[in-house]
Amino acid sequence: MPTVVVSRRADATPHAAALIEGLRDIGYSLETAISDIIDNSITAGAHQIEIVTEAYSGEPYIAIIDDGGGMTEEELVSAMRPGSRNPLLTRDEPDLGRFGLGLKSASFSQCRRLTVVSRKSGLTSAAIWDLDDVAERNEWAVELPDSFDSICCVDKLGPKGTLVLWDKLDRLTGGYSYNAAKRAEVINQRIAETERHLRLVFHRFMEDSKPLRIFMNGRLLRPLDPFARKNLAHIPDPEEMLPLDRGVVEIQSFTLPHHKQMSKAEWEDIGGPEGHLKSQGFYLYRGKRLILHGTWFGLCRQSEITKLSRVRIDISNSMDADWKIDVKKSSAQLPPVVRDRLKKVIERILAGSKRTYSRRGQKLVDQDRLPMWHRIQADGQIRYRPNIEHPAFASFAESLPLGLRQGFFNCIVLVGASLPIETLHSDMGGSAEKIVPDWVDEDTLAQAVQATLSVLMRANKDINEITSLMKDVDPFRSAWEDTQRLIAATIESTIEASRLGIADQPIASKPS
């Protein structure tokens, strides 16, 4: 290709007012914007970060204060410059930055005035970007105030550290600029949504031996581990290493405990507002900071049976270009070589979740446990059919006249044939953990307990084995305290009847 001879050049410096307004619409949300500011604090060596919000005043604001190393005035002015760092330059390992745009673009996405006050080596410096001032002057110039006393929250700065202050919050009013109460409600709701995001994105920093402490309006945030590693029932797979040209990709899969093995609060906390169905999949970390989660990158469909699967992927900041990390650090793309590796291991990665559900489901149809239902698989189809030989059904049928027994069994079969498959499928796909067995009254439960005990004891099973079998199937499992009480009462009644020589009690044989 021939070389083009350049004889003249023209100044193409972008207009400050136009470009700086354009930086507002990169696509930040409040939570990703605050996360970007926290990235800078972590890079600066902060161990404590305080987020302070004021939503009810006439001039609401959000302040983020850290105890990091701070900046001199020269360093501060450089940090306030859009594109302050070339993304192609090599960064230190703990550096969470990317394009040198985060502080500015994240802040402008939420406010029209950004004030940064930083303290280092006993000296305090401040710089302000006011978009209204930029629009008027059309200059790439920050304001450098001489006095800091009037700046909100400056008194919260320690001997070193940085304050990032957002005011003129025009993007957070929700359209209620002139309704202070409604505006405050919108801001507070957005802040509440941001809290969970921060607990998740920075959970590994918050779990370190020297943990990062993040406070939200004076309240310490707890880390949110998406892999439930403190729960002894979680299942970790061995860690895998995938060497690439620019670094090593670390991959480890986890299977969450079944919801029956977690408290309701813990289960809902990990699942989040969208639930576990939407939060399964890959969790991509860059330098321990969560970048992306809740996706299979097109390698697998989200499904109910795999919703317990989580896969941690760790990359270093030297691999940003390979993964196409964006400015907001909230999206990425799989490099082809990583995609090929994950294709080969995806079935094994998901198998743990399937096994967890399969084991529990098998107990419902295990013949040794006297199931209420039979699972019948044939001709590529699966059917569930009531077990008419279950003691509760069989003992009642025996008490009926012969002419009524077939009609009773026909009714049971009709119940099985009328199983609402479509509705169950819809409910299971959305929130399976909310589907619970129906409640049974005392008389119904007592009848089922007595009939089941009678059969199991005639089979010469001891009371410990009987208890273990009954505890794993409904309706006994769902009402276990009442079931235990009824078992004890039934056995006591049987022993008393045996002592008195009464023959027509519900259980004829002695407990082992």
> Domain-by-domain residue ranges, the chain?
16-220, 235-362, 373-500
What's the pLDDT score for residue 291? 92
Q: Are strands 61-66 and 123-130 parallel, antiparallel or unpaired?
A: unpaired
What's the pLDDT score for residue 39? 93
User: Alpha-carbon distance 143 to 222, whole Å?
Assistant: 37
What's the pLDDT score for residue 65? 98
Chain centroid to Cα 176, Å, comes to 31
Question: Mean pLDDT of all residues in the chain?
Answer: 83
What's the pLDDT score for residue 93? 55
What's the pLDDT score for residue 395? 79
pLDDT tens sequence across 35-45: 999 999 999 99
User: Alpha-carbon distance 339 to 57, whole Å?
Assistant: 50
Res 486 pLDDT > 90? no
Res 128 pLDDT > 80? yes
- Listed ranges 232-241, 420-429, 463-472; the one with the highest mean pLDDT: 232-241
> What's the whole-number mean pLDDT along residues 65-76?
95
pLDDT tens sequence across 91-115: 455 555 544 577 998 999 999 999 9
pLDDT tens sequence across 346-355: 777 655 555 5
DSSP characters over 7-58: ------PPPHHHHHHHGGGS---HHHHHHHHHHHHHHTT-SEEEEEEE-SSS
What's the pLDDT score for residue 512? 37
What's the pLDDT score for residue 506? 47
- Listed ranges 117-126, 318-327, 464-473; the one with the highest mean pLDDT: 117-126
Q: Are strands 161-167 and 219-220 parallel, antiparallel or unpaired?
A: unpaired
Contacts of 76 (CB under 8 A, 6+ apart): 116, 118, 125, 126, 127
Fold of 16-220: Heat Shock Protein 90 (3.30.565)
Q: What percent of the chain has pLDDT over 90?
A: 35
The count of C-alpha atoms lying within 13 angstroms of the C-alpha of 448, restricted to the half-sphere facing its C-beta, is: 21
Closest listed residue to residue 41, CA positions, set 164, 167, 220: 164
Q: Of residues 83 and 242, which shows the higher confidence score? A: 242
What's the pLDDT score for residue 86? 44
163: three-class secondary structure by DSSP:
strand
User: Alpha-carbon distance 181 to 187, whole Å?
Assistant: 10
- Reported as a pLDDT band with limits 50, 70 and 90, residue 507 is very low
- Reported as a pLDDT band with limits 50, 70 and 90, residue 489 is confident
- Reported as a pLDDT band with limits 50, 70 and 90, residue 497 is low
What's the pLDDT score for residue 362? 45
> What's the whole-number mean pLDDT along residues 399-428?
83
What's the pLDDT score for residue 205? 96
Res 216 pLDDT > 80? yes
CA angle at 151 for the pair 150 and 156, rounded to the nearest 5°: 115
pLDDT tens sequence across 268-305: 999 998 888 889 999 999 989 999 998 898 888 888 77
What's the pLDDT score for residue 284? 94
> What's the whole-number mean pLDDT along residues 247-264?
89
Q: Of residues 342 and 3, which shows the higher confidence score? A: 342
> What's the whole-number mean pLDDT along residues 392-408?
84
Which residues of 69-167 form beta strands (DSSP E)? 113-120, 123-130, 161-167
> What's the whole-number mean pLDDT along residues 56-62?
90
Q: Report which residue type is found at 193.
A: E
Helix, strand, coil % in the chain, rounded to nearest 5: 45, 20, 40
User: Alpha-carbon distance 290 to 296, whole Å?
Assistant: 15
Res 369 pLDDT > 70? no
Res 89 pLDDT > 60? no
Res 365 pLDDT > 50? no
What's the pLDDT score for residue 99? 46
> What's the whole-number mean pLDDT along residues 168-174?
88
Q: Of residues 24 and 461, which shows the higher confidence score? A: 24
166: three-class secondary structure by DSSP:
strand
Q: Is 235-362 in CATH node 3.40.50?
A: no
> What's the whole-number mean pLDDT along residues 469-478?
79
> What's the whole-number mean pLDDT along residues 393-417?
85
- Reported as a pLDDT band with limits 50, 70 and 90, residue 397 is confident
Q: What percent of the chain has pLDDT over 70?
A: 86
pLDDT tens sequence across 307-317: 888 999 999 88
- What is the residue whose two structure tokens read 């930086």? 23
